[in-house]
């Protein structure tokens, strides 16, 4: 099967059976799991053997114990290759010393399962090269005229025969007032923000579709691995800019608050509908309706952050000058001290609940996955306080039933990665995105100041992350964990978000070296693309029956095709000026 290899274990020991167990290097402090029992040879010429399937995603530690004497015979640390065929020969080197030898032999070489990624990369790079060459050729007048004539010969002839000659861009805009208005609005809008949002969204869509079934594209089983999924961050940035615009154009705070409430309600409602599909499964039962979800969390986060910004910000607040500030270096923080007090209070609540809330049967401050993690001491403590609060307030049947920890850590408890406690840190991440928006407003058109502030914030977030995690995956005070939405996860994601926003802002809005395509288009229709990819996930052409369901190449082709289709759809909608806003 996919991500598996075959291991044939031969026992040449004359009078002792073998017990084979294994532990994955990705499973932190996990107890060994029994794989097979190999009987003793008992002097027979034919050596007993057992074939087992072993995981190839991460290095494994194989442990061979003597069954009768219960002694450790050998321990092997090895990273098996996908579809490889291996043999493990266990024999006695010396009868006098009872020295046991364990030799691992490769019978059939594994395949290179990463070649499809290289091929896909080359295909997309080829498409990019064709687009770039095409754009360069279109700048040559004879080529452009030839293409225009082939595409629309009547219009080309009319322009050639016209006494006015070929109209320039300004003439065409002035002849169409609505086109001019559209162009002006497009120029004022920061394309870097939509590009950032689109990039985060497309990565999210690709991962949700399966990511080619590669382990490094999947959601982490528990601690570690940060993927570029800063949708929450850029939502906060957009809140700052949109509220400032509405207040500047004369909208009352009461009217703006009404829009915030309505949008939050719609996001939460759509989220509940999307995560509870019943398509061909019959009527949905209220007894197992899942309440938390991505859109629900986004809706509530938007409500809190937007209301907080609206409460403490007035029209023209971004125009405060440096000379009036007691500390110019903190002018994007000090005027908003009530907001920071509110956010820090929320973080204090998260810390107190996470580390001091008593959870039945679990140690205080437990942040582990439960199951076989921590040597199986706390099998029912998945998520610690976060999981307990969800089960207590929402009920076990109303949260996610198949968490990412269930495979590697063999957990049995339901756990929702979009649960109640983690929403506090989601609000914090959106608030950091809000901070980026305030920097853009405060230093309007001062590109060096904006980029330097982004860089400083990235460094600060990185230092906090290093302190919290001790620069390790599992040994820090608070590990990076998306399932918990730990504070270190937020600071690490924000560190990358500030740097990524800096780079995109520089390339797209400062130097104009990149238009933001193709990510700009899904960024302009983010809600539609997200809901659409969830609703139509199992429909053609986003999914089809595969010839070999155990092939990374087929899964990658299908997932990339589906993701690319949403980029194309968003481009078509953009060209037709169709935008679904909530």
DSSP string, 243-296: HHHHHHTT--HHHHHHHHHHHHHHHHHHHHHHTS--TTT-SPPGGG-----HHH
Across the strands, what pairs with 19? 37, 65
Say whether 400 sits in a helix, a strand or coil: coil
69 has a pLDDT exceeding 80: no
At a CB cut-off of 8 Å and minimum separation 6, what does 111 contact? 81, 82, 83, 84
pLDDT tens readout for residues 311-364 = 987 655 454 444 456 677 778 888 889 999 999 999 999 999 999 999 999 999
Of 45-54, 307-316, 521-530, 543-552, where does mean pLDDT reach its minimum? 307-316
Backbone angles phi, psi at 76, to 5 degrees: -125, 125
pLDDT tens readout for residues 163-184 = 333 333 334 334 444 444 444 4
Say whether 47 sits in a helix, a strand or coil: coil
Burial environment of residue 153 by CB neighbours within 10 A (0 to 12, 13 to 18, 19 or more): exposed
Backbone angles phi, psi at 419, to 5 degrees: -75, -175
Residues 21 and 31 sit within 8 Å (Cβ to Cβ): no
Residue-level pLDDT at 174: 41
What value does the mean pLDDT of the chain take?
A: 86
First to last CA, the chain: 44
What does the CA dihedral 126, 129, 134, 139 come to, rounded to 10 degrees? 180
Of 13-27, 475-489, 539-553, where does mean pLDDT reach its minimum? 13-27
The widest CA-to-CA distance across the chain, in whole angstroms, is: 107
Percent of the chain that is helix, strand, coil (3-state, to 5): 55, 10, 35
At a CB cut-off of 8 Å and minimum separation 6, what does 314 contact? 247
* CA distances from residue 560 to 195, 217, 528 in whole angstroms, order as listed: 19, 12, 19
For tokens 């990624």, what's the residue? 117
Strand order in the sheet with 4-11: 49-55, 4-11, 85-94, 99-108
CATH 2.60.40-classified regions of the chain: 4-108
Q: 247-269 burial by CB neighbour count: b if 16+ within 10 A, else e?
A: beeeeeeeebeebbeebbeebbe
Residue 533: active-site member: no
At a CB cut-off of 8 Å and minimum separation 6, what does 294 contact? 271, 275, 418, 530
pLDDT tens readout for residues 388-421 = 999 999 999 999 998 989 989 999 999 999 999 9
* Strand ranges inside 79-162, DSSP E: 85-94, 99-108
Hey, what are 330's tokens?
């903190």
38 has a pLDDT exceeding 60: yes
* CA distances from residue 223 to 61, 182, 228, 329, 551 in whole angstroms, order as listed: 20, 46, 16, 35, 27
61 has a pLDDT exceeding 90: yes
552 has a pLDDT exceeding 50: yes
458 has a pLDDT exceeding 60: yes
Residue-level pLDDT at 158: 47
Residues 426 and 232 sit within 8 Å (Cβ to Cβ): yes
DSSP readout, 542-576?
Answer: T----S-TT-HHHHHHHHHHHHHHHHHHHHHHHHT
- Please write down the long-range contacts of 330-339, taking CB distance under 8 Å and 24 or more positions apart: 331/442, 332/435, 332/438, 332/439, 332/442, 332/453, 333/435, 336/312, 336/438, 338/312, 339/308, 339/309, 339/312, 339/431
The arrangement of secondary structure in 4-108, i.e. its CATH architecture, is Sandwich (2.60)
122 vs 330, which has greater pLDDT? 122
Active-site annotation holder among 219, 398, 402, 447: 219
Hey, what are 547's tokens?
């010839």
Residues 354 and 389 sit within 8 Å (Cβ to Cβ): no
For tokens 């608050």, what's the residue? 257
Residue-level pLDDT at 178: 44
Task: Please give the model's pTM, rounded to 2 decimal places.
Answer: 0.88
Residues 224 and 465 sit within 8 Å (Cβ to Cβ): no
96 has a pLDDT exceeding 70: no
Residue-level pLDDT at 447: 93
């Amino acid at each position: 099967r996919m991500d598996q290899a075959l291991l044939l274990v031969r026992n040449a020991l004359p009078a002792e059976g073998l017990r084979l167990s294994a532990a994955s290097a990705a499973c932190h402090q996990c107890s060994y799991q029994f794989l097979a029992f190999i009987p003793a040879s008992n002097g027979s010429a034919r050596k007993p053997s057992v074939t087992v399937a072993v995981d190839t995603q991460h290095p494994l530690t194989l442990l061979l114990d003597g069954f009768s004497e219960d002694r450790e015979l050998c321990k092997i640390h090895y990273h098996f290759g996908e579809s490889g065929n291996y043999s493990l020969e266990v024999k006695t080197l010396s009868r006098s010393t009872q020295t046991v030898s364990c030799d691992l032999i490769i019978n059939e070489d594994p395949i290179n399962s990463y070649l499809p990624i290289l091929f896909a990369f080359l295909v997309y790079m080829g498409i990019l090269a064709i687009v770039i060459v095409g754009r360069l050729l279109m700048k040559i007048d004879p080529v452009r005229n030839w293409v225009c004539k082939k595409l629309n010969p009547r219009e080309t002839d009319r322009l050639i025969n016209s006494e006015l000659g070929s109209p320039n861009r300004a003439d065409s805009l002035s002849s169409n007032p609505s086109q001019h208005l559209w162009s002006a609005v497009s120029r004022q809008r920061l394309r870097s923000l939509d590009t950032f949002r689109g990039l985060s969204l497309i990565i999210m869509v690709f991962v949700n579709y399966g990511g080619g079934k590669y382990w490094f594209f999947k959601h982490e089983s528990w601690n570690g691995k940060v993927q570029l999924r800063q949708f929450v961050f850029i939502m906060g940035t957009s809140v700052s800019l949109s509220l400032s615009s509405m207040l500047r154009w004369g909208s009352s705070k009461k009217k703006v608050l009404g829009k915030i409430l309505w949008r939050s309600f719609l996001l939460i409602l759509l989220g509940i509908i999307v995560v509870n599909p019943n398509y061909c499964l019959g009527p949905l039962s209220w007894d197992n309706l899942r309440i938390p979800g991505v859109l629900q969390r986004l809706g509530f986060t938007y409500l809190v952050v937007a209301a907080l910004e609206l409460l403490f910000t007035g029209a023209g607040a971004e125009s405060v000058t440096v000379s009036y500030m007691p500390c110019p270096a903190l002018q994007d923080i000090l005027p908003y001290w009530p907001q920071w007090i509110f956010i820090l209070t929320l973080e204090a609540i998260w810390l107190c609940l996470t580390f001091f809330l008593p959870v039945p049967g679990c140690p205080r401050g437990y942040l582990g996955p439960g199951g076989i993690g921590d040597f199986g001491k706390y099998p029912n403590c998945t998520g610690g306080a976060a999981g307990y609060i969800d089960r207590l307030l929402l009920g076990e049947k109303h949260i996610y039933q198949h968490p990412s920890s269930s495979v590697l850590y063999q957990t049995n408890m339901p756990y929702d990665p979009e649960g109640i406690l983690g929403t506090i840190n989601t609000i914090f991440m959106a608030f950091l995105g809000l901070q980026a928006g305030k920097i853009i407003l405060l230093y309007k058109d001062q590109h060096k100041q904006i980029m330097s502030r982004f860089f400083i914030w990235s460094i600060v977030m990185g230092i906090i992350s290093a302190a919290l995690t001790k620069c390790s995956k599992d040994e820090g005070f608070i590990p990076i964990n998306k399932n918990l939405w730990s504070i270190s996860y937020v600071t690490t994601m924000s560190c990358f978000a500030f740097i990524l926003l800096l780079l995109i802002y520089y390339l797209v809005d400062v130097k104009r070296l990149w238009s933001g395509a193709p990510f700009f288009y899904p960024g302009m229709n983010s809600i539609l693309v997200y809901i659409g990819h969830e609703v139509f996930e199992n429909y053609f052409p986003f999914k089809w029956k595969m010839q070999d369901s155990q092939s990374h190449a087929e899964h990658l082709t299908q997932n990339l095709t589906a993701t690319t289709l949403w980029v194309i759809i968003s481009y078509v909608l953009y060209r037709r000026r169709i935008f679904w806003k909530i």
